[in-house]
């Protein structure tokens, strides 16, 4: 997953460096969505208490919540091993529909963490751009890196909102084509009614991809803090009066550039349209009815391009702004009045 290397000594608040990460995250999010779109909706994995096997293990949440918890616990315990190890190790990619498989994975992850830990603590030593969805994560095995102090201390975390809009709005939309194809196949085999829709049983594969998308979106949204800090440091005098009066609208105006947002949406549209195509052996995209494939032309497009753009326009961008403003509203906490007055005198020319 794209990230900044905070240990190189380069300016982590450089807007150019931040922009580079955000653009690369666009690719990560689009490709992960394309992979998730090949599976049906599988709403059961988002319903709490839907798996008796998990309830028997003492877990009352949903399959995805359990999957996130176990994955992030393992990741937290072995902080030097990237999450991709868990997601590609062959365990998470299995379709878990049997109690024995659920128990096997649960025991493996529990053993991996508990055999090397004796206590639990919040994951406070992780990279400044990582925000876990679960709490009470294990302490890392290796000595934590001493990351440079970049952001002002804060507790802004939008993951609950990210989880909600992704599972309730995004997943049903991007999986619609796979869900409809599944229902047609079931009807051909004599399965009709409520049994024909939505569920293809690929719970492990779907959850694996959900985790990838959720963590990518989380990183993208929380990078708003870096943008806010960078702009605050460049011109604190412009922000401080609005922070003190809790003027959210004025703060949002200071950090928002509508023309940049429009360029982002156009870039996303082009990327999603391109990535959703199957490129022919000669390197050219296939033509349909004599036309080059594009939105509304390529019926075999691997994802709903408008859905990808809407994800950013309706969810990611607005939520990022909320994070940016919430961060700024906490920016003066812990500072003395003298420190605030000195900052207020600093304005960009």
**Tally of domains within the chain:** 1
Average pLDDT, whole number, for the chain? Answer: 79
Bridge partners of 291?
Answer: 288
Report the percent of the chain where pLDDT is more than 90.
Answer: 54
Return the pLDDT at 281: 63
Point out the least confidently predicted range of 14-18, 298-302, 343-347: 298-302
Distance CA 21, CA 28 (A): 10
In a domain, 9, yes or no: no
Query: What does DSSP assign to residue 99?
Result: H
Q: What is the CATH number of the domain that holds 176?
A: 1.10.590.10
Q: Would the CA dihedral through 231, 308, 135, 326 be positive or negative?
A: positive
Q: How many helices (H) and strands (E) are present in the chain, helices listed first?
A: 16, 0
In a domain, 2, yes or no: no
pLDDT at 229 over 50: yes
In a domain, 300, yes or no: yes
Return the pLDDT at 98: 39
Residue 330 belongs to what domain range?
A: 15-129+149-344
pTM over 0.85: no
Of 348 and 135, the structure prediction assigns the larger pLDDT to 135
Return the pLDDT at 283: 62
Return the pLDDT at 92: 36
User: Could you give the C-alpha distances from 322 to 102, 182, 228, 255, 343, in angstroms and in order?
Assistant: 37, 38, 11, 11, 23
In a domain, 134, yes or no: no
Return the pLDDT at 179: 80
Tokens of residue 174, six digits = 């991007």
Return the pLDDT at 106: 43
Mean pLDDT, residues 210-236? 95
Q: Which class for 154: exposed (0-12), middle (13-18), buried (19 or more C-beta within 10 A)?
A: middle
pLDDT at 304 over 50: yes
Of 184 and 113, the structure prediction assigns the larger pLDDT to 184
Q: Would the CA dihedral through 268, 3, 157, 166 be positive or negative?
A: positive
In a domain, 205, yes or no: yes
**Banded model confidence at residue 339, pLDDT cuts 50, 70, 90:** very high
Bridge partners of 7?
Answer: none
Strands (E) in the chain, as ranges, are none
Of 245 and 198, the structure prediction assigns the larger pLDDT to 245
Return the pLDDT at 349: 57
- In terms of phi and psi (left: phi > 0; alpha: psi -120 to 50; beta: otherwise), the region of 86 is alpha
Mind listing the pLDDT tens digit for each residue in 284-295? Answer: 655 543 334 444
Most confident of 35-39, 189-193, 274-278: 35-39
User: In residues, how long is the chain?
Assistant: 349
In a domain, 118, yes or no: yes
Neighbours of 218 (CB within 10 A): 21
In a domain, 246, yes or no: yes
Mind listing the pLDDT tens digit for each residue in 67-89? Answer: 999 888 887 776 533 333 333 33
In a domain, 36, yes or no: yes
Closest Cα to residue 70, out of 115, 136, 168, 119?
Answer: 136
Of 226 and 99, the structure prediction assigns the larger pLDDT to 226
Tokens of residue 279, six digits = 């490129």
pLDDT at 296 over 90: no
Of 111 and 27, the structure prediction assigns the larger pLDDT to 27
């Amino acid at each position: 997953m794209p990230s900044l290397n905070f240990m190189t000594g380069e300016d982590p608040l450089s807007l150019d460096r931040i922009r580079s990460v955000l653009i690369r995250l666009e690719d990560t999010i689009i490709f992960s969505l394309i992979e998730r779109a090949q599976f049906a909706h599988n709403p059961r994995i988002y319903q709490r208490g839907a798996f008796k096997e998990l309830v028997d293990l003492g877990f009352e949440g949903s399959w995805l919540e359990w999957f996130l918890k176990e994955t992030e616990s393992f990741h937290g315990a072995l902080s030097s091993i990237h999450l991709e190890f868990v997601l590609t190790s062959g365990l998470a990619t299995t379709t878990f529909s049997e109690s024995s498989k659920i128990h096997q994975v649960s025991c493996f992850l529990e053993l991996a963490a508990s055999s090397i830990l004796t206590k639990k603590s919040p994951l406070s030593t992780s990279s400044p751009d990582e925000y876990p969805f679960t709490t009470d994560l294990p302490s890392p095995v290796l000595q934590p890196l001493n990351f440079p102090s970049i952001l002002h201390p804060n507790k802004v975390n939008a993951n609950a909102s990210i989880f909600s809009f992704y599972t309730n709005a995004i997943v049903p939309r991007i999986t619609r084509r796979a869900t409809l194809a599944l229902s047609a196949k079931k009807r051909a085999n004599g399965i009709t009614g409520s049994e024909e829709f939505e569920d293809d049983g690929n719970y492990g594969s779907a959850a694996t991809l959900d985790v990838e998308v959720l963590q990518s979106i989380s990183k993208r949204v929380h990078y708003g803090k870096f943008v806010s800090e960078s702009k605050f440091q460049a011109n604190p005098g412009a922000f401080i009066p609005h922070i003190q009066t809790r003027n959210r609208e004025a703060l949002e105006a200071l950090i928002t550039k509508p023309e940049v947002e429009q360029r982002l949406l156009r870039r996303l549209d082009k990327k999603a349209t391109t990535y959703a195509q199957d490129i022919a052996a000669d390197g050219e995209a296939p033509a349909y009815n004599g036309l080059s494939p594009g939105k509304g032309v390529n019926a075999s497009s691997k994802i709903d391009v408008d859905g990808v753009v809407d994800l950013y326009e309706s969810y990611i961008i607005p939520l990022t702004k909320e994070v940016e403003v919430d961060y700024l509203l906490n920016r003066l906490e812990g500072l003395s009045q003298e420190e605030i007055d000195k900052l207020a005198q600093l304005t960009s020319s």
